[in-house]
Amino acid sequence: MKLKGAQIFIRCLKEEGVDTIFGYPGGAVIDIYDELFKSDIKHILTRHEQGAVHAADGFARSSGRVGVALVTSGPGATNTVTGIATASMDSIPIVVFTGQVPTHLIGNDAFQECDITGITRPCTKHNYLVRSVEDLARTIKEAFYIARTGRPGPVLVDLPKDIMAAEAEYDPAKIKVNSTLEQPPKPVSKKFVQMMEMLKASRKPLLLTGGGVILGKASDELQAFSRRARIPVTSTLMGLGAFPGSDPLWLGMPGMHGTYYANMAISHCDLLITIGARFDDRVTGKIDTFAANADIIHIDVDPSSINKNIVADLPIVSDARSALEIINRMLKDHGYTASDAHRKDWLDEIETWKQKAPLTYSQDSSVIKPQFVIEKLYELTKGNAIITTEVGQNQMWAAQFYNYDHPNTFISSGGLGTMGYGFPAAIGVQFAFPDKLVIDIAGDGSIQMNIQEMATAVQYNVPVKIVLLNNGYLGMVRQWQELFYGKRYSQTDIAIQPDFVKVAEAYGMVGLRAKKPDEVEPTLKKGLSIPRPVLMDFQVCREECVYPMVRPGASISEMTLGTREMIN
């Protein structure tokens, strides 16, 4: 049967099981939008292409499915770059379709033309410019395959306008992914035998897990391993939720704003089992002293992540789930179970650190502490919410003071650190989980970077909640200026700001405000109970800092705590 390119496009999306896409129309994709009009695929119109990509990304992170965005050529395409780079750094499977000028105009500086495959080459896992309608269906199939296989990532497909209007035979049964494309790695079993030996010899083992455990859907297996072998767990920002935040073996996040005890555990463990994490500089601090007493086992699906920043004593190329399944099976076969008594010295040592410097802040009766808002939020939601964050102080407090008990419930731009990510991502999450409570923890700087998506939330009545920690500063940069640049607050004071409650109301959202600590709980209660999009503006202590903190370039064992003293 002969179909037009735009019709094949719709058919291919349906073949991939896509029911929701995020996008923004334009001249180069008008044929596709005409076909979308006739189809039952739900298209969510964001108010900026960046918002569409972040929404597709939030959809993907929360559901584990491939997120899809569709935009036009030229500026539509360039506006997706930040969203694509965000997904790339965090290995998120999304497919971004961009319109392109007709093939005969490519290279002519045509209206709304840009070389988007050239621009996105370094920030996509792969990208395509479809040059003939005959290649369209196979290209789309490959794009989805590549996005979700191995280490996932964003794939961009550029669609020239004439290809969408041209006709070709379409038979889904005949469309095959090129067999030479990457295959998921097969774990080598003898490596695990070696790992068992190392584990048996270890007195102070520690698990450091990352986003790979969530992407690999290996949370249950991780918990089984940790509990059976009594190994405490710390996790990077990207891995929060894979191990329950309320479990006694949980140590919180390590690194620059990690807990004292997680960093001390890394510095003192004799075996560090790292799964699906890539030793980002925010986690390791000074490389030379990182886990200096430990043998390091590094399990990752991407061989290029191993031995990149930290040399592994035992590198294992595998997805997290396959690896953990093998480990758990071997533990069972060997009859290996560690008791608390077996680990007593190590767990006691960690307990001492926990007592010495728990995660804390000083409460204040007259001004709202941002950490208090997050704590209350956790209390009121009982942890049953999906949290997205913006980037900066709000993100760190959200990571520290909310316990994530389930995977895919903490959605944050970790690698790229994209301000303006959280709100559109929350909209995407809500489309994946219409019945869940979805909350964006925001700062007053970040929220203004994609505030236009309030219109999207209102148009589709997406009941996302924005918890705005409003301190009138670009808080994280201000914190660095306070601590390392003699309090010279260069360009970080943004106290001149809109009335966020009125902005929310102007868009048709509900706006609430709290100025005093005793208003926090009632405001949260009220805001969370309204089945519409709500912004809650918490006017918080202006110069609160995120602690603990490891100075940039310092060892993670050298932390500055809230009281500003150094602990070693």
Partner 1 sequence: MPNLNEQKGKKIMDKKKERIISLLVYNKPDVLARVAGTLGGKGYNIESLCVDVTLNPDVSKIILTTVQTKSTVSKIEKQLERLIDVVKVEDLTDVETIKREMVLIRMNLTEASKSDLIRTVNTLNCKIITFNTDHCVLEYTGSKDEVDRVLVKLKALGVDDIARTGIAALERKN
Name the residue nearer to partner 1 (CB basis): 78 or 360.
78
Token pair for residue 195? 């790992």
- Are 166 and 131 in contact by the 8 Å Cβ rule? The answer is no
**Least distance between partner 1 and beta carbon 311 (Å):** 5
Q: Which of 182, 220, 345, 543 touches partner 1 (CB under 8 A)? A: 182
**Least distance between partner 1 and beta carbon 533 (Å):** 39
Distances in Å between the Cα of 464 and the Cα atoms of 65, 446, 528, 533 are: 20, 16, 9, 5
Q: Under 8 Å CB-to-CB from 435, ≥6 apart: which residues?
A: none
Q: Which of 19, 132, 181, 203 touches partner 1 (CB under 8 A)? A: 181
Q: Which one of 124-132, 191-199, 396-404, 481-489 is the stretch in contact with partner 1 (CB under 8 A)?
A: 124-132
- Here's the x/- map for partner 1, 269-288, by CB under 8 A: it reads as ------------------xx
Q: Which one of 50-58, 121-129, 333-341, 447-455 is the stretch in contact with partner 1 (CB under 8 A)?
A: 121-129
Name the residue nearer to partner 1 (CB basis): 292 or 495.
292
- Here's the x/- map for partner 1, 139-178, by CB under 8 A: it reads as -------x--------------------------------
Token pair for residue 17? 């099981």
**Least distance between partner 1 and beta carbon 353 (Å):** 24
H/E segment holding residue 234: strand 233-235
* 117 belongs to the binding site for partner 1 (CB under 8 A): yes
Instruction: Give the Cα separation of 199 and 239 in Å (integer).
Output: 22
**Least distance between partner 1 and beta carbon 131 (Å):** 9
* 311 belongs to the binding site for partner 1 (CB under 8 A): yes
Token pair for residue 92? 């998120």
Name the residue nearer to partner 1 (CB basis): 163 or 419.
163
Amino acid at 190: K
Name the residue nearer to partner 1 (CB basis): 208 or 312.
312
Residues near partner 1 (CB under 8 A), total: 21
Amino acid at 235: S
φ and ψ at residue 310, rounded to 5 degrees: -130, 135
φ and ψ at residue 148, rounded to 5 degrees: -105, -10
Q: Which of 42, 104, 121, 525 touches partner 1 (CB under 8 A)? A: 121
Q: What is the dihedral of CA 442, 448, 450, 452, to 10 degrees?
A: 120
Strand partners, 467: 441, 536
* 188 belongs to the binding site for partner 1 (CB under 8 A): no
- First-to-final CA distance of the chain: 71
Find, among 304, 303, 317, 308, the residue nearest to 284 by Cα. Answer: 308
Name the residue nearer to partner 1 (CB basis): 172 or 303.
303
**Least distance between partner 1 and beta carbon 157 (Å):** 13
**Least distance between partner 1 and beta carbon 51 (Å):** 27
**Quick one: how many helices (H) and strands (E) in the chain?**
22, 21
Active site residues: 49, 111-112, 161, 476
Q: Which one of 119-127, 467-475, 498-506, 536-544 is the stretch in contact with partner 1 (CB under 8 A)?
A: 119-127
* 213 belongs to the binding site for partner 1 (CB under 8 A): no
- Here's the x/- map for partner 1, 285-304, by CB under 8 A: it reads as --xx---x---------xxx
Q: Which of 126, 204, 278, 321 touches partner 1 (CB under 8 A)? A: 126
- Are 442 and 390 in contact by the 8 Å Cβ rule? The answer is yes
Q: Identify the three-state secondary structure at position 230.
A: coil
Name the residue nearer to partner 1 (CB basis): 158 or 453.
158
Q: Which one of 117-125, 257-265, 423-431, 492-500 is the stretch in contact with partner 1 (CB under 8 A)?
A: 117-125
With b for 16 or more beta-carbon neighbours within 10 A and e for fewer, the 31-66 pattern comes to bbbebbeeeebebbebbbbbbbbbbbbbbbbbbbbb
Name the residue nearer to partner 1 (CB basis): 307 or 461.
307
Instruction: Give the Cα separation of 370 and 398 in Å (integer).
Output: 9
**Least distance between partner 1 and beta carbon 266 (Å):** 15
* 180 belongs to the binding site for partner 1 (CB under 8 A): yes
Q: Which one of 71-79, 120-128, 451-459, 503-511 is the stretch in contact with partner 1 (CB under 8 A)?
A: 120-128
* 246 belongs to the binding site for partner 1 (CB under 8 A): no
Token pair for residue 441? 């923890």
Name the residue nearer to partner 1 (CB basis): 304 or 491.
304
Q: β-strands 167-169, 2-4: how paired?
A: antiparallel
Q: Which one of 26-34, 179-187, 414-422, 501-509 is the stretch in contact with partner 1 (CB under 8 A)?
A: 179-187
Instruction: Give the Cα separation of 268 and 264 in Å (integer).
Output: 6
**Least distance between partner 1 and beta carbon 126 (Å):** 4
- Are 251 and 282 in contact by the 8 Å Cβ rule? The answer is no
* 122 belongs to the binding site for partner 1 (CB under 8 A): yes
Distances in Å between the Cα of 12 and the Cα atoms of 165, 170, 174, 359, 486 are: 16, 10, 12, 49, 57
Find, among 466, 429, 431, the residue nearest to 449 by Cα. Answer: 466
Find, among 217, 216, 138, 207, the residue nearest to 171 by Cα. Answer: 138
**Least distance between partner 1 and beta carbon 307 (Å):** 7
Name the residue nearer to partner 1 (CB basis): 60 or 123.
123
Name the residue nearer to partner 1 (CB basis): 137 or 426.
137
**Least distance between partner 1 and beta carbon 293 (Å):** 10
Q: What is the dihedral of CA 249, 250, 255, 261, to 10 degrees?
A: -60
Find, among 147, 62, 170, the residue nearest to 96 by Cα. Answer: 147
Q: Which of 75, 107, 118, 248 touches partner 1 (CB under 8 A)? A: 118
Any idea which residue has 């008008």 for tokens?
A: 30
Length of the chain: 568
Q: Which of 125, 148, 298, 478 touches partner 1 (CB under 8 A)? A: 125
Given the rule CB under 8 A, which residues bind partner 1?
117-118, 121-122, 125-126, 129, 146, 180-182, 287-288, 292, 302-304, 307-308, 310-311
